[in-house]
Structure 1
Amino acid sequence: MHVLSSRFLVRPVDPEKTTAFYADVLGLAIYRTFPGGTVFFLGQGFLEVAGQGTPGEGGNLQLWLQVENLPATLAELAGRGVTPDREARREPWGLDEAWISDPDGTRIVLVEIPSDHPLRTDVRDPSGT
């Protein structure tokens, strides 16, 4: 399968409230709008299938958003009235993560990759071959 493009689809209970959350609270840039919807830029898109979801807590969908500076991002969001569902902490896999939720309870994992983490390692062959 050759994927040309991808999106996460969120079907909110209150479209205006949820659209405002992503636009005004998280500050995501708008790619385009259309009757009945808004598409936001979300960096590079990925779909991660991991673990097992719990019904009633935003379903099984989670958004994983990498940020440059997690403490600064949390402070910015606090200024916009966002209280984390779980404060930032270093996970066993070495990433710094905090959790927030959108108005429908969809979990949003905010992630900072520490400078010494293997995800920051350049795996290209230095010889160029």
Structure 2
Amino acid sequence: MEVLSGRILVRPVDRARTVAFYRDTLGLAIHREFAVGTVFFLGTGLLEVSGEGGGGASPDQSLWLQVRDLAATLDELRQGGLEIKRDARREPWGLDEAWIEDPDGMRIVLVEIPPDHPLRRDARTPE
């Protein structure tokens, strides 16, 4: 299979409220809009909020967003009135993570990769 592009699809209970959350609260840039949806940039990925769902969030699904500065991001979100569901902490796998939720309760994992983490190493250079 040759994949040319991809995106995550979210079917919210209230599309206008969810679009406002991702656009205004998180400050995601809009890639495109169409009659029943909005597509947001997620760094190298895309998030499409379209249609309407009724099931709400599943505890089995999360949105993983890497940020440059986790502490500054959390401060900014708190100042905007967003409740932080789990404050930042270093996970056993070495990433700094905090949790927030979208309006339907989908967990959003905010991640900062510490400077000494293996994900930051340049695979082109020998150790």
How far apart in 1 are the matches of 2:35 and 2:61? 24
How far apart in 2 are the matches of 1:45 and 1:33? 16
Tell me the equivalent position of 2:104: 104
Tell me the equivalent position of 2:30: 30
The answer for unaligned runs of 5 or more in structure 1 is 47-55
Residues 65 and 111 in structure 2, CA contact (< 8 A), matched pair in contact too: yes
Please give the residue correspondences for 1:1-129 in structure 2 after superposition, counting only pairs within 5 Å: 1-45=1-45, 58-59=57-58, 60-125=60-125
CA positional deviation for 1:125: 4.3
- Where 2:45 maps in the other structure, the secondary structure is coil
How far apart in 1 are the matches of 2:37 and 2:115? 37
Tell me the equivalent position of 1:52: none
Residues 95 and 113 in structure 2, CA contact (< 8 A), matched pair in contact too: yes
How far apart in 2 are the matches of 1:101 and 1:113? 20
What residue identity is the alignment partner of 1:4?
L
Residues 69 and 112 in structure 2, CA contact (< 8 A), matched pair in contact too: yes
TM-score in terms of structure 1 length:
0.86
Indicate how the Cα distance of structure 1 residues 113 and 30 shifts in structure 2: closer, same or farther if over 3 A, else same: same
Residues 97 and 111 in structure 2, CA contact (< 8 A), matched pair in contact too: yes
Indicate how the Cα distance of structure 1 residues 13 and 77 shifts in structure 2: closer, same or farther if over 3 A, else same: same
Runs of 4+ off more than 4 Å = none
- Where 2:33 maps in the other structure, the secondary structure is strand
The percentage of aligned residue pairs carrying the same residue is 67
- Whichever structure has more strand as a proportion of its residues is 2
How far apart in 2 are the matches of 1:68 and 1:12? 27
The answer for unaligned runs of 5 or more in structure 2 is 47-54
Indicate how the Cα distance of structure 1 residues 57 and 33 shifts in structure 2: closer, same or farther if over 3 A, else same: closer
What residue identity is the alignment partner of 1:98?
A
TM-score in terms of structure 2 length:
0.87
CA positional deviation for 1:99: 0.3
What is the Cα-based RMSD across aligned positions, in Å?
1.6
CA positional deviation for 1:45: 2.7
State the aligned residue count: 117
